[in-house]
């Protein structure tokens, strides 16, 4: 279980109490980040969403200003409303700018 993330601008490592593979989505709440996990629990971090955007693997995609999703848990895309539906049933709005990118990643 990989729970250590190297933060490039800090001299220490940030430890998460769960595996990165268990993260379904990350939501930014001001200067905090809320992790939504596979088992339905949530974890609050005092780091901003932008910190995690730079260090998470490629299968994590920022779909709008306040949300990063794990593409491994993407179920379907709703073209009519530009919404990503995740395997846990949650709906995440996708920005106009990111819509083409997420469509091309899913179609590959």
Cβ–Cβ under 8 Å, residues 45 and 32: yes
Could you tell me where the DSSP H helices lie in 18-90? 49-55
CATH code for the structural domain at 4-107 = 2.40.50.1020
**pLDDT digit string (tens) for 77-108?**
999 999 999 999 999 999 999 999 999 988 76
**pLDDT digit string (tens) for 25-73?**
999 999 999 999 999 999 998 889 998 888 888 899 999 999 999 999 9
What is the β-pairing status of strands 67-70 and 23-29? antiparallel
């Amino acid at each position: 279980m990989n729970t250590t993330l190297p933060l490039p601008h800090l001299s220490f490592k940030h430890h998460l109490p769960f595996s990165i593979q268990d993260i379904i989505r990350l939501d930014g709440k001001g200067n905090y980040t809320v992790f939504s996990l596979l088992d339905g629990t949530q974890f609050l971090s005092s780091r901003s969403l932008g910190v995690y955007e730079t260090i998470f693997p490629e299968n994590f995609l920022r779909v709008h200003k306040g949300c990063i999703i794990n593409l491994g848990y993407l179920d379907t895309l709703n073209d009519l409303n530009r919404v990503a539906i995740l395997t846990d049933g949650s709906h995440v709005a996708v920005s106009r700018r990111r819509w083409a990118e997420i469509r091309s990643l899913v179609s590959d």
